[in-house]
Amino acid sequence: MSLFTQLFDPGRDAALVTGAGNGIGRAIAQALVSEGVRTVFADVHRDTVSAAAASSSRPELAVPWIGDLASRDACDALITDTRAAVGRVTLFVHSAAPPRRESDHALAVTDETWEQMRAVNVDAGFHLAREFSRELIAAREPGSILMLTSLHAATPRNLPHYSTSKAALAMLVKELAKTLGRFGIRVNALVPGAIAAGGFVADPSLTRHIPLGRLGRSEDLAPMALAVLSSKVSAYVTGASFVVDGGLSLTNWFDPPVLDEL
């Protein structure tokens, strides 16, 4: 008999994916819909997230939501709207992240940019994960949470606001996994390499550092995301980090930042 006839239970499971307007978040949200899971696509950009939901294989299962997750009020609205649209969230994916600009190195990044990065990556991730977990615990239901971290949780990126926020998120995964395991809520990290998805504009020469010989695509992440989210595949997996990078992390490829403007 086949091990994996169905990864999720469409009658019980419902998903929220942040950052679903672009790149990896969009690929994961669309993949969940293709598995028959009602999914809220959350993003700050109306046009991209509406298009992402509409171009899903089953648009009737895809609910676009627009708001700025740097705001606590917006996060609370997302929780309320998600409950109304798809019911209790059993699968939560946090992929939203503000744009990464090479000019925001340690001597240039503004307080506002620093704050925005932390607010979306860490604060929103924590608040949403905790509230969805509280709902699952109250209902005595299991669930699964996946945070998009980065190789730069452990290696400098010349973007200190980004790398520190991803390091915090990586530790948040471990903290939540340790606390929530007893309730059947699994929490894991997905760690992309260089994924040409828009949020990261890669120099094509980077491919020489990638053993599998090409930059990644958003679609390279979605199958692993679904496997980790699914308790059919990963029932005994929590607090873990899954690197999908074609082998890029076998090398450190970034030079120090350019400081011409000083």
Ligand X SMILES: NC(=O)c1ccc[n+]([C@@H]2O[C@H](COP(=O)([O-])OP(=O)(O)OC[C@H]3O[C@@H](n4cnc5c(N)ncnc54)[C@H](O)[C@@H]3O)[C@@H](O)[C@H]2O)c1
Q: Contact residues for ligand X (CB under 6 A)?
A: 19, 21-25, 43-45, 48, 68-70, 95-98, 120, 148, 150, 192, 194-195, 197-200, 218
The span from the CA of 140 to the CA of 118, in Å, is 31
Q: Are 91 and 14 in contact (CB under 8 A)?
A: yes
The single residue of 41, 92, 162, 200 carrying the catalytic annotation is 162
Nearer to ligand X, 137 or 241 (CB): 241
- Active-site residue flag, 236: no
The contacts found for 153-159 with CB under 8 angstroms, 24 or more apart, are: 153/191, 155/249, 155/252, 155/254, 156/254, 157/100, 157/254, 158/102, 158/105, 158/106, 158/254, 158/256, 158/257, 159/100, 159/101, 159/102, 159/104, 159/105, 159/109
> From the CB of 141, what's the least distance to ligand X, in Å?
26
Helix residue spans in the chain (DSSP H): 23-34, 46-54, 72-86, 111-118, 125-139, 160-180, 218-229, 231-234
Q: For residues 138-154, b (16+ Cβ closer than 10 Å) or e, as one string?
A: eeeeebbbbbbbbbbbe
Nearer to ligand X, 9 or 96 (CB): 96
> From the CB of 218, what's the least distance to ligand X, in Å?
6
Nearer to ligand X, 143 or 246 (CB): 246
> From the CB of 43, what's the least distance to ligand X, in Å?
5
In DSSP terms, 244 is beta-bridged to 192
> From the CB of 48, what's the least distance to ligand X, in Å?
6
Place of tokens 């010349």: 158
Nearer to ligand X, 66 or 137 (CB): 66
> From the CB of 142, what's the least distance to ligand X, in Å?
25
Nearer to ligand X, 209 or 232 (CB): 209
- What dihedral do alpha carbons 51, 57, 62, 65 form, nearest 10°? -20
What positions carry a catalytic annotation? 162
